[in-house]
Amino acid sequence: MASNFETVKDRIRKAEQRAGRPAGAVTLVAISKVHGPDVIEPVLEAGHRVFGENRVQEAQAKWPALRERFCDVELHLVGPLQTNKVKDAVAIFDVIETVDRPKLARALAREFEKQGVRRDCFIQINTGEEPQKAGALPAEADDFIRFCRDDLNLPLVGLMCIPPVDEEPALHFALLRKIAERNGLEQLSMGMSGDFETAIELGATHVRLGTAVFGARPAR
Ligand SMILES: *Cc1c(COP(=O)(O)O)cnc(C)c1O
């Protein structure tokens, strides 16, 4: 695992160079969903600290013990969030990448207030307008961003997308970037194991890599 990790870091560095971006411009979010501590620990021991999970309950089961040994971990939520899990999500995650609807945005704002904390938020955009996929539609993005930032005062840092599997990801990355730029948002979470170099070329600040770091995921 640690060798996968070194290879991936190297590929990120080279992609940054090719894109004329400074070294370290891109943050690797190692997506550890499904994997157990035995697979995650070598990457922690290699010095990595930014991880992502897509389920609140799974993160609660795995990360408190790991955090006792690696206290400076930064954990990102990259999966859909139901409002009844907002309290738990805010307690365990440092970054919420999947703010996608007004009801969730309101619940997060309330929970930050209640717990006296703030968590960096990304808005997820459904760039492919896929009915089964979460995310605000591109046409609604500007209004939703304004609502989150101005009406709710959420700590909004950027946008996130998951392109359709059967389409050219570059088109979706370019669209995400355009929406971010016209709204003055600086961070772009885009790019997974199959397309992260393209994403870096198009301005990704965060790439979310599971398979490339940890190998194939076992069945749940
Ligand atoms: C699982 C997952 C990833 C990582 O996918 P890989 O193809 O294994 O790199 C990235 N983003 C999200 C939202 C995911 O659920």
How far apart are the C-alpha atoms of 156 and 149, rounded to whole Å?
6
Pocket test for ligand 1, best of 55, 95, 192 (most atoms within 8 A of CB): 192
Angle between helices 37-45 and 2-18 (to 10 degrees): 60
pTM higher than 0.85, yes or no?
yes
What pLDDT, on the 0 to 100 scale, is given for residue 2? 63
Please report whether residue 65 resides in a domain.
yes
Q: With contact defined as beta carbons under 8 Å apart, do 90 and 111 qualify?
A: yes
What pLDDT, on the 0 to 100 scale, is given for residue 16? 98
Q: How far is the CA of 91 from the centre of ligand 1 (A)?
A: 22
Query: How many domains is the chain partitioned into structurally?
Result: 1
What pLDDT, on the 0 to 100 scale, is given for residue 3? 78
Q: How far is the CA of 195 from the centre of ligand 1 (A)?
A: 11
Q: What is the mean pLDDT of the chain?
A: 97
- Position 1 pLDDT exceeds 80: no
Please report whether residue 137 resides in a domain.
yes
Identify the domain containing residue 65 by its residue range: 2-214
Please report whether residue 220 resides in a domain.
no
Ligand 1 binding site (Cβ under 6 Å of any ligand atom): 31, 33, 54, 78-79, 162, 192-194, 208-212
Q: How far is the CA of 192 from the centre of ligand 1 (A)?
A: 6
Query: Which CATH number covers residue 140?
Result: 3.20.20.10
